[in-house]
Amino acid sequence: MTTYGSFPGTRPRRLRTTPVMRRMVAETRLHPADLILPAFVREGVREPVPITAMPGVVQHTRDTLKKAAAEAVEAGVSGIMLFGVPEEEKKDALGTAGTDPDGILQVALRDVRAEVGDDLLVMSDLCLDEFTDHGHCGVLDAEGRVDNDATLERYAEMAQVQADAGAHVVGPSGMMDGQIGVIRDALDQIGREDVAVLAYTAKYASAFYGPFREAVGSSLKGDRKTYQQDAANVRESMRELALDLAEGADMVMVKPAGPYLDILAKVAEAVDVPVAAYQISGEYSMIEAAAEKGWIDRDRAILETLTGIKRAGARNILTYWATEVARTLR
């Protein structure tokens, strides 16, 4: 004889019975407006250049970049983060192409603003690594070390030219001490209080940046461990967060996203400003490569990783799948 009291009275599976039920009780939802598209524009090319290590991603021409921006608007994406790839002969020790009003990044900013106006947040990577012949994010001293304060002077100039070129948001990614305060002051000095600063608050020295180096034609020799954060540290991120907020950051970011969801959750819990996370090149490439091998379901894996990043606390996510996923969500 069956003893019914021995069966569970509470059955969480009842809330998983159908797709509609699961959708209704979902605690985390992705939306196209959550997404920001990182995009690369390369100087001197007539056709988009495929990035071997990032299948489906290209170095854009000026024209194809404008098209990608328009497609992002149509899909409902909130922003586009631009990275400039100059001609190799224009790189130098100071990264002067990065502050040239006619440099590729500034030209691209003007192009995209002319194409989309205020329908898409036009965001600009504020860093020297794409433009230096040594590949570091700053100016080097006589002993080959990154000179923090000399680099800040370059960042201030870079912020001003990017604002003049049309950036709604600048994203200083170099991890120099004091960079947010210097950039905020530089923008305010030219009357650009309207330009927001997205702080790369917790940017770790990660092995997952590998494909990005190809994407920007990096000239880096060595590593960036003296200025990017150590993967072993948590409290260090919270210290960086406090400094960035005190210096005037409008938004903060954790990069990479997937390997640092614990950091993302701590940052999101601690602040009342928008928190972003960057699903970086290596995260993208791993999924694309595994899917190509038939080892995982590509589309499900993409949505699962993005949902995990959102669940951990990201208000916005930079992802190379932004436009594709936004179309799917709509």
Nearest Cα residue to 112 out of 121, 125, 103: 121
Tell me which DSSP letter residue 201 carries.
E
Q: How many residues comprise the chain?
A: 330
Given phi > 0 = left and psi -120 to 50 = alpha, else beta, which region is 311? alpha
Whether residue 91 lies in the annotated active site: no
Catalytic residue (choose from 66, 91, 255, 266): 255
Residue 117 — left, alpha, or beta (φ > 0 → left; ψ -120 to 50 → alpha)?
left
Is 221 labeled as catalytic in the residue annotation?
Answer: no
End-to-end CA distance of the chain: 53
Q: Which of 203, 221, 266, 310 is catalytic?
A: 203
Which residues does 76 contact at the CB level (< 8 Å), separation at least 6? 31, 32, 33, 326, 329, 330
Q: Quote the Cα angle for 71-319-118, to 5°.
A: 45
Indicate the DSSP class of residue 144: S
Point out which residues pair with 123 in neighbouring strands.
81, 169
Q: How far apart are CA 210 and CA 285, in angstroms?
A: 10
Report which of 19, 116, 27 is spatially closest to residue 76, judged by C-alpha positions: 116
Active site residues: 203, 255
